[in-house]
Amino acid sequence: MPTLAAAAAPVLAHQSTLRESNLAVVLRCVCASPEPVSRAGVASATGLTRSTVSRLVDELVAGGLVDEGTARLAGPGRPATPLRPARRICAVGLQVNAAHVAARLIDLRGEVVAESRSEPDLVGSDPARALGLLGGHLAEVLPAAPEHGRIVGAGLALPGVVDASGERLLRAPNLDWRDVEPVAGLRGQLHDIPLTLGNEANLGAHAFAQPAPGRRGRSSHFVYVSGEIGIGGAVVTDSLVQSGLHGFAGEIGHMPFRPGGDPCPCGSDGCLERYAGRLAMTRRAGLPPSTTLAELGQRAEEGHAGSREAIELAAEALGVVLAGVVNLLDVPTIVLGGEIGDLAPRIAPVVEARVRARVMAAGWMPLEVCQDPDDVAGATGGALVHLTQVVTSPAVVLAAGGGEAC
Amino acid sequence: MPTLAAAAAPVLAHQSTLRESNLAVVLRCVCASPEPVSRAGVASATGLTRSTVSRLVDELVAGGLVDEGTARLAGPGRPATPLRPARRICAVGLQVNAAHVAARLIDLRGEVVAESRSEPDLVGSDPARALGLLGGHLAEVLPAAPEHGRIVGAGLALPGVVDASGERLLRAPNLDWRDVEPVAGLRGQLHDIPLTLGNEANLGAHAFAQPAPGRRGRSSHFVYVSGEIGIGGAVVTDSLVQSGLHGFAGEIGHMPFRPGGDPCPCGSDGCLERYAGRLAMTRRAGLPPSTTLAELGQRAEEGHAGSREAIELAAEALGVVLAGVVNLLDVPTIVLGGEIGDLAPRIAPVVEARVRARVMAAGWMPLEVCQDPDDVAGATGGALVHLTQVVTSPAVVLAAGGGEAC
DNA sequence: CGAGATAGTTTTGGGACACAACCAATGGAG
DNA sequence: CTCCATTGGTTGTGTCCCAAAACTATCTCG
C-alpha cells in the first residue's frame, strides 16, 4: 500500500553494506531485549538463519560489543548461551543548564555506571567557570569506566541553539552565553573522546524515546516539553527526534499563546514561555525568581493564591499551545520534562483536558500527558545518542578496533 | 558524527534485498535527472560499477520501467544510449473538494498525460453525486493511457481526515461528509487499480516536495498551507510528508491564533481558520460566501475596505501561527497552496515579515514564503504517491509483471 | 537411560557485485 | 582519409555474504 512515508531515498548497497546492515540488525535485537537472548532467539526474531546469526554474533563478541554469559538459559533442549550488550562500551553524558551541572557514564545496556552532579546558579555565568565545574564532574566519572573499556563519545546538553555541526553553541538566553565552543575547554579531560553538543530538550526527548540504546520507549510519537527557566521542547516521530533542517527545531517556548501579549526577549510577544516558564510563573505568583517549580507547587498546595493562579495560567497556556502541536503533528503523547515535570502531577490532568477539548481528531486518537522522571535527561540523552550510534553502525566501532582501552 | 537522526531502525537484508535496493537506486537516478542519462552516467552518479548498472538497467528495461531511446547522446567517445523513465507506467490522481472535481493521469516522468475537471459546488453535497462526477472525469482520462501501458494505482485527495488504512474518509467538515468509503463507488471504472485516499493538503505537499517521481522539489523542509473554504496543511521534512501516527497530521487550520476568540465548529475557538479561511474572510469583508479569494483580492485591489481588512487580518494570523510552526520545526520555507495561493502575491511579503519578526533563529536561517501554482495539487500528489512507490520499490512492479496491458 | 527438543556449527551452494579485460563507436588530429 | 584517443557498454572471473541442510551438543522429560 503506497504511503507518504515510503519515499525515503535508498542508498547504494555493496555486499559489505549488507553485512553491516545485518550486524546492526543483530546488535539491535540483542540491545532491544531487556532479558538476555540466545543466538537462536535472535535468529527467530530477525528472520536471519541461525548460521548467519552465529557468524555475526561471533564477530560482535570478538569486537567486544556483545558479552557472552557463562550461565546457561534453561529450558527444554540444549541450553543457550545468553547474549547481552557489552558493559565495556560506554558513553559520557554531560549537561549544563541554569541550575544543573552533571556528568553521567552510561554503558551499552543503558545502565548508569557513574554519575556526578551539582546544582550551582549559572544564570548569566561565565562559560569558563561552568565548563570548569563540568570538567570536575567529568573527571570524577571517567575512572568508573570498566577495565579495557571503551568510551565511544560524549554528548553535552545545553539549553540553547546549537549549530548544525554540533560543535558550537550559538545562543543560550538563560545562561546568557553566545558563541561558545566547549570542546576546547574540555579537551584536557576528554583526550580523544569525540564531543558533540545538543539542545537539552532534543537530547532529553531522545532519551525518552530510546531509554536504552536500540530499545524503544513507551511512546514513539510525542512532543517533549522541557521546562526550566525558559521552555524548550522537541518533537519525536517514529522514535526519532525531529531536529529540523538546521537543528534549530523544538523552540516550543516561543510558540504564540497570546500574540500581542507579554513581550518576550526573543523579540516576539505572547510566547508560551511568558506564561509557563519558571521566571514568568514565579513573577506572577509574587515569589522570588529563584523559587523552584516544586516550591511553587508546594505554595499552591498550601493555598497561596498567586501560586495557584500562576499554575492555572501556565496549564491553560500549555494546553492551548500543545493542542496546536497535536493538531499539526498527530502526536498522541505529551511528555513534561525538566523542572516542569515536577508540576506534572498537578497540571497534567488540566493540560490533558485542555488539549482534548481543542484537538480535531481527539475522538479518534488516544491522548496522554505524562512526566519524564529523569531530572538530567539531557545528559542521559547526550550519552545515549553516541551509544545509539554504535547500535546503528556497529561496523564503525569494530573497524576502529573495539579493543582499545580507555 | 553521531546525530539524532541517525537512529532509524535497520531492516533485515538478504541478497535479494541488495538487488532490490540497487534497482531502486538506479531507477531513482534515471528519474531524478531531467535530462536522459546513459548507463555510464548512472554508474558515475551512483558509485556502482558500469557492469552492475548495465545488468540492473537491462532488468528495468525488460520490465518496462525504463525506456531506451533510439537517438544517441553526442559527445566525445562512443555515443550513449539515452535512458528515460518509461511513459507506459502511469498513475491516476483524483481530487474532490468543495469547489473542484478532477482526474489526472500522470506518467513515470511526472508529465500529465490527460486531465479532466469541473468546478461544481459540493458544499454539503451527497457523496454519491460527487463520486459520480469524479467517475465521469476518471472515465475520460483512462483511455489516454498509452497502449500496453500499466496504471499502477490511483490516489484520491479529499479535504478531510482519512483513516490510517487509506480506505475511509472519517470526516470532511466542508463537504459535510462522514464515514465515506469511495472505493466501492468507483470500482466500476477502476477495475483492479488500487485506490488510496489521502488528505488533500498532505498530497499537495507531497507533489510540491517531489514534483516528479524520485525528483526533489525546490525545498526539502517546508510547511504547506492549503487554503480553500477551510485551511489544511502539511509538514514536510527531508522531502517526506509527516503524516503522524494515525495519519491525522496537518490540521494547521485549527492551531490557535486567538484562543478565546471566534468559536470554531471544531469545538475550539480562535483557530487560524476563523481568520484566514475563505469563509471567515468573505464574511469579514461583507461579501457572499461564494466569493473566491481571487475575487476578494481583486476587490481589495479596487479599494474595498472590508476586503483589505480581511486580508490583513488573515496575513497577520498566518504570520503568527506559521512563526510558531517554524520555531517548532525549523522549516525555512512556507508554501501557500490551493485557493489561498491566489492571494500569495499580495500576502506573501506580509506573512514573511511577520514570521521573520517572531522566529527565534531568524538570524541564522533563510525564510521564504512561496506559492504552489498547481490548483489541483491534491490530485497530482495522489498520482505521484503511487509513482514514487514504483521508484522506491521497482522490484514489486517487476515481479507483478510490468507487461500487463491496462 | 533413551527419546525428543532445542542450540549452535559446519558444509555446500547460489546470488550479487567488484574488477579487469575487451569490444564498439564516434570525434578529432594530422 | 586514416589513425588514435576517448568514452560507452559487455563479458568473464573472483570474492563476499547469506540460505539451506546436515550434523553435533546438551538438556528435559518420561
**What pLDDT, in 10s, does the model give residues B311-336?**
999 999 999 999 999 999 999 999 99
| Per-residue model confidence as pLDDT tens digits over B235-270 | 999 999 999 999 899 999 999 999 999 999 888 999
pLDDT at A9: 60
Question: Region A177-203: what's the mean pLDDT?
Answer: 90
Return the closest-CA partner of residue B335 out of B174, B188, B163, B219: B219
Question: Cα(B77)–Cα(A20) distance, rounded to whole angstroms?
Answer: 38
pLDDT at B334: 98
**In this complex, is the C-beta atom of B21 within 8 Å of any C-beta atom belonging to chain A?**
yes
Strand D bases near protein CB (under 7 Å) are: 5-12, 15-22, 25-29
Contacts of B247 in chain A (CB under 8 A): 330
**Dihedral-angle region of residue A263 (phi above 0 means left; psi in -120 to 50 means alpha; beta otherwise):** beta
Average per-residue pLDDT for chain A: 91
* Interface probe, candidates A328, A333, A389, chain B, greatest B C-beta count within 10 A: A328
Kindly indicate the confidence band of residue A213, based on its pLDDT and cuts at 50, 70 and 90. very high
Question: Cα(A56)–Cα(B108) distance, rounded to whole angstroms?
Answer: 40
Contacts of B265 in chain A (CB under 8 A): none
φ, ψ for residue A81, nearest 5 deg:
-90, 125
Q: Is A391 exposed, middle or buried (0-12, 13-18, 19+ CB in 10 A)?
A: buried
pLDDT at B283: 95
For B292, the grid coordinates are 473566491
pLDDT at B11: 67
* Percent of chain B clearing pLDDT 70 (strictly above): 96
Find cell 532467539 and name the residue: A41
**Distance, angstroms, CA A38 to C1' C1?**
29
| Per-residue model confidence as pLDDT tens digits over B168-222 | 998 888 888 989 998 888 888 888 899 999 999 999 999 999 999 999 999 999 9
**Distance, angstroms, CA A47 to C1' D22?**
20
pLDDT at A299: 94
Write out residues 316-355 of A within 8 Å (CB-CB) of B: 320-321, 323-325, 327-332
Kindly indicate the confidence band of residue A316, based on its pLDDT and cuts at 50, 70 and 90. very high
**In this complex, is the C-beta atom of A52 within 8 Å of any C-beta atom belonging to chain B?**
no
* Percent of chain A clearing pLDDT 70 (strictly above): 96
Question: Region A57-76: what's the mean pLDDT?
Answer: 87
Q: If DSSP codes are grouped into helix, strand and coil, which group holds residue A175?
A: coil
Kindly indicate the confidence band of residue B401, based on its pLDDT and cuts at 50, 70 and 90. low
What's the pTM value of the predicted model, to 2 decimals? 0.92
Q: To the nearest 5 percent, what fractions of chain A are helix, strand and coil?
A: 45, 20, 35
User: In Å, how far is B171's CA from the nearest CA of chain A?
Assistant: 10
Contact A259/A351 with Cβ under 8 angstroms?
Answer: no
Does residue B81 reach within 7 angstroms of strand D, measured from its CB? yes
User: In Å, how far is B282's CA from the nearest CA of chain A?
Assistant: 23
Kindly indicate the confidence band of residue B406, based on its pLDDT and cuts at 50, 70 and 90. very low
β partners of residue B89 = B150
Question: Region A215-229: what's the mean pLDDT?
Answer: 94
For B381, the grid coordinates are 500528489
pLDDT at A406: 39
Question: Region A216-240: what's the mean pLDDT?
Answer: 94
**In this complex, is the C-beta atom of B57 within 8 Å of any C-beta atom belonging to chain A?**
no
Kindly indicate the confidence band of residue B404, based on its pLDDT and cuts at 50, 70 and 90. very low
Contacts of A170 in chain B (CB under 8 A): 364
| Per-residue model confidence as pLDDT tens digits over B75-110 | 777 888 899 999 999 999 999 998 899 999 999 999
User: In Å, how far is B4's CA from the nearest CA of chain A?
Assistant: 6
| Per-residue model confidence as pLDDT tens digits over A82-136 | 999 999 999 999 999 988 999 999 999 999 999 999 999 888 888 999 999 999 9
Return the closest-CA partner of residue B256 out of A132, A275, A369, A215: A275
pLDDT at B174: 84
Taking the CB of residue A66, how many other CB atoms lie within 10 A of it?
23
Does residue A51 reach within 7 angstroms of strand D, measured from its CB? yes
Closest protein residue to C24 (Cα–C1'): B78
B63 vs A124, more confident: B63
Return the closest-CA partner of residue A264 out of B215, B209, B324: B324
| Residues sharing a CB contact under 8 Å with residue A62, sequence separation 6 or more, in sequence order | none
Question: Cα(B58)–Cα(B43) distance, rounded to whole angstroms?
Answer: 14
Question: Region A286-290: what's the mean pLDDT?
Answer: 92
Nearest chain A residue to B19 by CA distance is A13
pLDDT at residue B4 tops 70: no
> Do the chains contact at A242 and B247, CB–CB below 8 Å?
no
pLDDT at A3: 60
| Residues sharing a CB contact under 8 Å with residue B143, sequence separation 6 or more, in sequence order | none
pLDDT at A405: 41
For A341, the grid coordinates are 515535570
| Cα–Cα separations (whole angstroms), residue B126 to B100, B130, B177 | 15, 7, 8
pLDDT at residue B155 tops 90: yes
Contacts of A255 in chain B (CB under 8 A): 324, 327-328
pLDDT at B405: 41
**Distance, angstroms, CA A40 to C1' D23?**
17
Average per-residue pLDDT for chain B: 91
User: In Å, how far is A54's CA from the nearest CA of chain B?
Assistant: 15
User: In Å, how far is A161's CA from the nearest CA of chain B?
Assistant: 8
pLDDT at residue A10 tops 70: no
Question: Cα(A93)–Cα(A384) distance, rounded to whole angstroms?
Answer: 8
Closest protein residue to D28 (Cα–C1'): A76
- Give the strand pairing for B101-107 and B89-96: antiparallel
Q: Is A112 exposed, middle or buried (0-12, 13-18, 19+ CB in 10 A)?
A: middle
Among the partner residues B320, B364, B386, nearest to A170 by beta-carbon distance: B364
* Percent of chain B clearing pLDDT 90 (strictly above): 74
Write out residues 166-205 of B within 8 Å (CB-CB) of A: 166, 170, 194, 196, 198, 202-203
